[in-house]
Amino acid sequence: MSLVAYFDAASTEPLHPQAREALLAALDAGWADPARLYGAARRAHLLLEQARTEVAEVLGARPDEVSFTSSGTQAVHLGVLGTLHGRRRAGRHLVTSAVEHSSVLHAGEVHERDGGTVETVGVDITGKADAAAFAEAVARPGTALACLQTANHEVGTLQPVAEVAAACREHGVPLLVDAAQTAGRLPIPPGWSVLTASAHKWGGPAGVGVLAVRKGTRFRSPLPLDERERRRVPGFENVPAVVAAAAALRAMAAEAEAEQARLSALVDRIRERVPQLVPDVEVIGDPVERAPHIVTFSCLYVDGEALLTELDKAGFAVSSGSSCTASTLRPSHVLEAMGVLTHGNVRVSLPRGTSAAEVDAFLAVLPELVHRIRQDAGVA
């Protein structure tokens, strides 16, 4: 069946029309090497720096604090390992929450293999990190860095970034904030030392990440030295993609207040109706303090992959469990940390422009599909 509705914006937001327009124009105007001195190169440099200024303004940074990477994952890897590298004299201890994106956890594993230590702060049943436990952890002597996302990528729960940032400031520990799920949708919480984000989450093209490092934060790239992007990120900048990313971020941020409130109301409808329509369902994540576009629920006695396949046949694109590790058979580390049902999990994340009719169509087909899968399994 053809696509009825795309509900996987937390994985990737469809390209914003303004990003497409900017990309096509920049392919003609911004193809040259921005590090050279001839006319076409100067034009590319101007486009790159204008995009940097626009992104910095939306994210609450200075332009000279912002570097562009090849992905949000690379931004996290460089942010975590570069800050730890720059602060080796301060200590080797890293503090993260149990529900961070896999890129943070993988960077932590590299740090441990290199002789560092990692402390993981637990979360409550909604997926919210324990701010008091975080404060206690960053007070430990030798803590070099703390990491906390703005909102969880699987269940949408907003994290206590401002509280954790205050504790980090008190103890002189930089805080890396992963804003992948909220940049362009919600204001960036204050208090970060390092900020990471990913353009394709806000309607920009894939292949552009953002790494912002506050002035005064000790940072040293863990990669071989390269003169580009303030020596933080190696390699030739993809100027057209960066220009398109900035255009999408500016457009998303301009419409965010109205559009995200509209999407949030649709998410409320899903949160309310699914348990009424489908028996033995657990809706997961904080019902109020959450990203406006994400809702996750788990269906007892249902194989998540089977449900996703049936929804796909019915024309609905959704995801399940940890979107970045869904190809593995391991249960989601986020859902495990929360202590909630890990099977039969569906994450619905609404892109800009989602209509009430699309949500109603989803709610109309879901009960029968769940019933059919349970029936096939002999539990209906």
Residue of 323, 370, 196, 352 lying closest to 260 (CA atoms): 352
Q: Is residue 251 within 8 Å of residue 242, measured between CB atoms?
A: no
Chain centroid, CA 329 distance in Å? 22
- Rounded distance, CA 20 to CA 329, Å? 36
Q: How would DSSP label each residue in 241-253? A: HHHHHHHHHHHHH
For the chain, what percentages of helix, strand and coil (3-state, to nearest 5) are there? 45, 15, 40
Residues 6+ apart with CB under 8 A from 172: none
Q: Could you read off the pLDDT of 129-166 as tens digits, one per residue?
A: 999 999 999 999 999 999 999 999 999 999 999 999 99
Residue 211 is predicted with a pLDDT of 98
User: Digits of tens for pLDDT over the chain (380 positions)?
Assistant: 678 899 999 999 999 999 999 999 999 999 999 999 999 999 999 999 999 999 999 999 999 999 999 999 999 999 999 999 999 999 999 999 999 999 999 999 999 999 999 999 999 999 999 999 999 999 999 999 999 999 999 999 999 999 999 999 999 999 999 999 999 999 999 999 999 999 999 999 999 999 999 999 999 999 998 889 888 999 999 999 999 999 999 999 999 999 999 999 999 999 999 999 999 999 999 999 999 999 999 999 999 999 999 999 999 999 986 444 445 567 799 999 999 988 889 999 999 999 999 999 999 999 999 999 999 988 86
- Rounded distance, CA 130 to CA 31, Å? 47
Put residue 216 in one of left, alpha, beta given phi > 0 → left and psi -120 to 50 → alpha.
left
- Rounded distance, CA 150 to CA 95, Å? 15
Q: What are phi and psi of 284, to 5 degrees?
A: -110, 150
Cα radius of gyration (the chain): 21
Partners of residue 118 on adjacent β-strands: 94
Which residues in 28-41 are b (16+ Cβ under 10 Å) and which e?
ebbebebeeeeeeb
Residue 329 is predicted with a pLDDT of 60
Instruction: For the chain, give the percent of residues with pLDDT over 90.
Output: 91
At 1, list the tokens. 């069946």
- Rounded distance, CA 121 to CA 130, Å? 7
Strands 294-299 and 281-284: antiparallel
Q: Could you read off the pLDDT of 95-122 as tens digits, one per residue?
A: 999 999 999 999 999 999 999 999 999 9
Tokens 């990003």 locate to: 19
Partners of residue 145 on adjacent β-strands: 94
For the question of residue 147 being annotated catalytic, the response is no
Residue 326 is predicted with a pLDDT of 46
Residue 325 is predicted with a pLDDT of 41
Q: Could you read off the pLDDT of 322-334 as tens digits, one per residue?
A: 444 445 567 799 9
